[in-house]
């Protein structure tokens, strides 16, 4: 969740040529030497800016080529001339970096192609994401879409603090376990904290997580209940150890890590997990 390894980019000229040339060899749009150089400059500037918006990402040298570059994304779809780029990018992520559980089936334009046509087929502007996250994010331009929206963090470029900032709060309400997630902004740069919270809210993760929580706890049910028979302290230790193990594999701010730590801190769950998970079925002698 949150971060992905940046794409290796590959042969950018080859990507441009395939995108802008029909299968029969005729040009869709013939880039001039000046335009090709401007595209490379934009790509490098995008990396230097860590994917953040800037007027220089839409230079006047590309006014003539912008529409063709924007439309070239159609070739990234299944059956297109750049379908292999799509396959490569989707294969680079096991789960959606925005929510931490969805299967990546879409490519989200971090900077939307409606505003930055030059970046429509740039691999590092294409984020493997699940369909619900892609639909929820849509044309958010980080920091520029409106005065109150700080935008999303960039999964390829954002450096995250080495601390627990995704927190979960677990409570029993009317006999049911309720879990909510939030960003702990303590000791985090305020701009980054605002982005993290905005992302959590924009994607409606607190509305989407309960189903995942139920599925995950169902998978862990027997182990939790068996340890729970030993006692409250043993279960707390087990939940904390499980959270640490998961953090080593998926990062310390994975939603499952935050969930397990919240359950370890929830007195009622640690004391009587069967109230939520149901009693442990004993084998019939």
Q: Are 193 and 259 in a shared domain?
A: yes
101 lies in some domain:
yes
Residue 102 near residue 130 (C-beta atoms within 8 A): yes
Q: Are 181 and 91 in a shared domain?
A: no
> Domain range for residue 30?
12-137
> Is 80 exceeded by the pLDDT of residue 284?
no
**3 state SS of 182:** strand
> Is 70 exceeded by the pLDDT of residue 148?
no
Residue 181's pLDDT band, with cuts at 50, 70 and 90, is: very high
Q: Which residue has the tokens 């800037």?
A: 54
Kindly report, residue by residue over 62-118, the tens digit of the pLDDT.
999 999 999 999 999 989 999 999 999 999 999 999 999 999 999 999 999 988 999
Q: Are 133 and 173 in a shared domain?
A: no
**3 state SS of 151:** coil
- Name the pairing type of β-strands 126-129 and 106-109: antiparallel
Number of independent structural domains in the chain: 2
Kindly report, residue by residue over 21-44, the tens digit of the pLDDT.
999 999 999 999 999 999 999 999
Q: Are 129 and 22 in a shared domain?
A: yes
**Domain limit, last residue, from 122, 137, 152:** 137
259 lies in some domain:
yes
203 lies in some domain:
yes
59 lies in some domain:
yes
């Amino acid at each position: 969740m949150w971060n992905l390894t940046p794409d290796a980019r590959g042969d950018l000229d080859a990507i441009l040529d395939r995108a802008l040339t029909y299968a029969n060899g005729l040009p869709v749009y013939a880039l001039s030497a000046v335009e090709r150089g401007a595209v490379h400059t934009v790509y490098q500037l995008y990396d230097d800016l860590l994917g953040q918006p800037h007027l220089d990402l839409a230079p006047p040298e590309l006014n003539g080529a912008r529409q063709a570059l924007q439309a070239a994304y159609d070739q990234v779809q299944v059956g297109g001339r750049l379908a292999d780029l799509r396959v490569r990018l989707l294969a680079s992520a096991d789960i959606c970096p925005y929510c931490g559980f969805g299967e990546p089936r879409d490519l989200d334009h971090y900077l939307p192609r409606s505003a930055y046509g030059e970046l429509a087929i740039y691999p590092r502007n294409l984020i493997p994401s699940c369909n619900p996250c892609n639909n929820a994010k849509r044309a958010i331009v980080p920091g520029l879409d409106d005065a109150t929206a700080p935008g999303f963090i960039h999964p390829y470029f954002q450096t995250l603090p080495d601390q627990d900032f995704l927190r979960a709060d677990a409570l029993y309400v009317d006999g049911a376990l309720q879990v909510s997630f939030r960003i702990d902004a303590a000791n985090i740069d305020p701009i980054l904290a605002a982005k993290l919270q905005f992302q959590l809210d924009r994607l409606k993760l607190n509305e989407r997580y309960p189903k995942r929580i139920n599925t995950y706890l169902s998978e862990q049910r027997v182990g939790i209940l068996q340890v729970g028979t030993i006692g409250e302290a043993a279960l707390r230790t087990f939940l904390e150890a499980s959270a640490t193990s998961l953090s080593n594999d998926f990062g310390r701010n994975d939603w499952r890590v935050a969930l397990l730590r919240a359950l370890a801190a929830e007195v009622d769950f640690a004391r009587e997990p069967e109230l939520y998970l149901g009693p442990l079925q004993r084998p019939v002698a």
